[in-house]
Amino acid sequence: MSRQAGRGTEAKKVSAELFTLTYGALVAQLIKDYESDEEVNKQLDKMGYNIGVRLIEDFLARSSVGRCHDFRETADVIAKVGFKMFLGITPTVANWSPSGDEFSLIVDNNPLTEFVELPDGHQNLNYSNLLGGVLRGSLEMVQMEVDVTFLQDALKGDSTTEIRLKFIRRLEDALPAGEE
């Protein structure tokens, strides 16, 4: 895979549109395939999960991020390195729970929804649900079980998109051999 450093911004922009449009075509197909929005959400989450478990490899290989020592560090890496690398945006980390095991990612300009308007009758559809799956899948590969929910969605009239991540537990058993 070629990863030229000097890739023009124009080319990057285009590849973003390719991704956004392809994602749109996928959601449209899923809506055709399934009766309810909940089923579509579930399917998007599943596909996101499958992407996440692979994407983490790409991410770790290309960023020099080591193991995170707490959930706050994880949040920073997700927002400032992960989102930046793959979607070119930096969401804000906010609304920490007192115990530090829950936070929100505030996404102001969600690239996935660039050309999207949600028609009536899809109030339960989480258009960007794929993102939730990606987060869940990639974090599971670094031994963190998290719960991802969408609290706000700009497509449904909220001012921003808010993704809530809740740390459930460390997956001790899944630790690869040789690691502490």
Partner 1 sequence: MADEALFEFLHMEVVSYLFKTADEEKCIPILENMGYRVGHSLAERFTKDSSRFKDELDIMKFICKDFWTSVYKKQVDNLRTNHQGVYVLQDNRCRVLTQISASKQYLEAAPNYLAFPCGLIRGALANLGISCIVTAEVQNMPACKFQIMIQRSQ
Residues near partner 1 (CB under 8 A): 1-2, 7, 11-26, 28-29, 33, 43, 47, 50-51, 54-55, 58, 85-89, 111, 115, 130
State the sign of the Cα–Cα–Cα–Cα dihedral 24, 26, 32, 36.
Answer: negative
**Residue 10 or 172 with smaller CB distance to partner 1:** 10
**Residue 133 or 146 with smaller CB distance to partner 1:** 133
CB of 50 to partner 1, least distance (A): 6
Q: For strands 92-94 and 102-107, give the pairing.
A: antiparallel
Angle subtended at Cα 61 by Cα 49 and Cα 23, rounded to the nearest 5 degrees: 35
SS3 145: strand
How far, in Å, are 61, 65, 169 from residue 24 at the CA level?
A: 29, 31, 33
Q: Residue 16 has which token pair?
A: 């973003």
**Residue 30 or 146 with smaller CB distance to partner 1:** 30
**Residue 89 or 151 with smaller CB distance to partner 1:** 89
Kind and range of the H or E run holding 152: strand 144-152
CB of 174 to partner 1, least distance (A): 21
CB of 177 to partner 1, least distance (A): 27
CB of 170 to partner 1, least distance (A): 26
